[in-house]
Every structure is written in structure tokens, then in C-alpha cells.
Structure 1
Amino acid sequence: MDLLLYFTFNFFIYGFFGWILENCFSYFKTGHMQKEGFLYGPFKPMYAIAMSVLVLCSKVTNIDNYTLISLCLIIPTFVEFITGIIMREYFKKDYWDYSDLKYNYKGVICLSFSLIWTLLSLISVKYLQVYLLDIFYLNVKEYWNSFWYLFVIALALDNMKTIKGMNLRRKATN
């Protein structure tokens, strides 16, 4: 159970950090915060999934730096690719488009952003996680044990509301 709690803690922290990162990127690129995201709440599932898996891999296994760097490239890129394809094919949404960038595939992944994800993931796993988040987790662990499920319920409700809204919009356009 402790590993599950640790995973969910990182899942929600990195989902929130991803939301902050994307809004900062949007602000510096366009001059305003991001207008639309998949979910209503301050949470980015792609960041949550990719970083939680990376943190779990680095904690549970004794991987060397070369393997970690490879995973920091592969996992976020794979999550971004799968998410982009699902969003495009099922929800008819393109939240990002790398078509104008070199070395892109279907506009949903590209080399330059994959390298950025690699660097950010590596810094997060090697430094942010070790020197900040693990210490924070140890300090809030007893509280997290009591209310982590509330975050799961809130995320599930947000997902249901989002999917219902997208299905209604899709039916209205058909």
C-alpha cells in the first residue's frame, strides 16, 4: 500500500506541476494563460502519468544513468504520442500541433520537444524528486494516507464531466 500512496502522491503533484508548466509556457509564448485543457481542474494527466512512472522506475529498480536518460526520453514521448492520438481520433481535439517543427511525427511528437521532456524529466527525477518532493512526502505522508482517495474521486469526477461535455459537443457537430 505504501508504494501505491507514494505513486498517487507523485501522480497528483506532477499533474499539478504540468498544469503550471503549460500555463507558464502559454503565457510566455502568447501573453496569456492557456485557455483550454482536457480537464477543468488544474491537472495535466500526461505529466502525471509520465513522471509517476519515471519516479517509480527510479525508486523500485536500481537503474543506471544511461537507462534513466533513455527512459526520460521514451516514457514522456510515448505518453505524449498516445495522448495526442487519442485526443485527435476519439475527441477530435488537437491541443498541440508540432507539424511546423522539424522531425515531427503526425504533429503529436517531435524531436525538439522530446529532448525538452528528457531534460525536464531527468532534472525532476534526479533533483526535484530527491531533494524536495521525497522530503515533502515524508512530512505529509500520514495526512496523505487519510485523504488521497479524495483526490482520486475529484479527478474521476473531472474526467467524467470532461468526457461527457466532449461527447455532447461531438454529437452536436454531427
Structure 2
Amino acid sequence: MYYLNMFFICSMLGYVMETFLKCFFFKSMNNGILFGPWIPIYGFGAIIIVFITDYVFKKSGLSRLNRVVKIIITVLLSVSILTFMEWSAGNLIELLLGKVFWDYSDLKYNFGHYIALEISLVWGVFILIFMYVLRPLIDKFIKKIPRFISYLVLVLFIIDCILTCFLV
């Protein structure tokens, strides 16, 4: 249940953040393809960061590295994976739905129109905020979520995905 709840909480936090950005900074920004209050790429990103911080270092013997080196490795790995995910998701959405939900062509260091160095650097900042501010708070909150709430949110998410496939 931990990973499922982490996925949904971070997907919802991503939705809140993008809604805030849309309201105050980027009026033309599209904040998600689903109808519900979640953007799954943020949930997947959180799970990847949790995996890297919890398992990669412990299982590979890299846990002996000093804290600064671990942070650098975590951020570089996470930024690389999240940037690839963003590129893949953008291309997949365009291929399957025939729509473009974000376009970084106007940024100086863009690659295609789905990724840009400037955005990847922002991902790096978000990763640090997630690791050191949000994750400890989310971990405490997750322990208090009843199982039936997790299942209810999962069912709503699945319904949202099905509706999106048929209506978008």
C-alpha cells in the first residue's frame, strides 16, 4: 500500500503544483490528460526516487558513500530517468491520442518539444525538495491512510483512465 499511496499523493501534489503554476504564471499550460486531480508522471517520479534512495544504494553496496555523493548520484539518476519518462510520455500521448499537452520548443535548450535542459534542472530542484521536505511528511501521512481509502482512490483512478481513453 505504501507505493500506491505514495503514487497517488505525489500525483495529486503534482496536479496542485501545476494548477498553481497555470493560474499565476503559464496561462496556456495544460495540467494533465486525466479528468481527476492527478498527474501520474509525478507519482511515477516519486516512486523512482524512493526506489533509488531506498534500494539502489542498499543493494549495490553504495550505501558506504558519503551523503553528498549519494545526493548527487540520486539527483543525476532521477533527473535522467524523469527526463526520459517525460519525453516518452509526451511522445506516447501524441501517438495514441494525437494531442500535445506540453511543448518546450520555445526554451533555448530543448530537445524535440517534450524535454529541455531548463525543465530537467527544475526536476532536480523538485527531487531535492521531495527527498528532504516532502517525503518525510508524506511517509507520516501514509501510515494514517485506511486501506479502504487507498482502494477507493485506486478505483476512481482506474475509472478516470478508462473515461479518458474513451472521451479524449
Partner of 1:133: 138
Quick one: distance in 1 between partners of 2:5 and 2:25?
30
1:74 aligns with 2:80: yes
1:56 aligns with 2:51: yes
SS of alignment partner, residue 33 of structure 2: coil
Note the aligned Cα RMSD (angstroms).
1.8
Quick one: distance in 1 between partners of 2:85 and 2:27?
27
CA deviations on 1:91-118 (whole Å, 9 max, x unpaired) are 1111111011112111000000010011
Which amino acid is the alignment partner of residue 133 of structure 2?
A: Y
CA deviations on 1:12-53 (whole Å, 9 max, x unpaired) are 000000000111111112469x66630000000111111122
Quick one: distance in 2 between partners of 1:19 and 1:75?
20
Quick one: distance in 2 between partners of 1:125 and 1:31?
29
1:146 aligns with 2:141: no
Quick one: distance in 2 between partners of 1:36 and 1:25?
9
Quick one: distance in 2 between partners of 1:31 and 1:107?
18
Partner of 2:67: none
Aligned residues: 157
Partner of 2:32: 37
1:151-170 to structure 2, matched below 5 A, reads 151-166=153-168
Partner of 1:169: none
Which amino acid is the alignment partner of residue 79 of structure 1?
A: M
Which amino acid is the alignment partner of residue 104 of structure 1?
A: N
Which amino acid is the alignment partner of residue 127 of structure 1?
A: V
SS of alignment partner, residue 34 of structure 2: coil
Quick one: distance in 1 between partners of 2:51 and 2:102?
27
Deviates more, 1:63-72 or 1:37-46: 63-72
Give the direction of change, closer, same or farther, for the CA distance of 1:24–1:75 in structure 2 (3 Å limit). same
Structure 1, unaligned runs of 5 or more: 167-174
Structure 1 runs (4+) greater than 6 angstroms displaced: none
TM-score by length of 1: 0.82
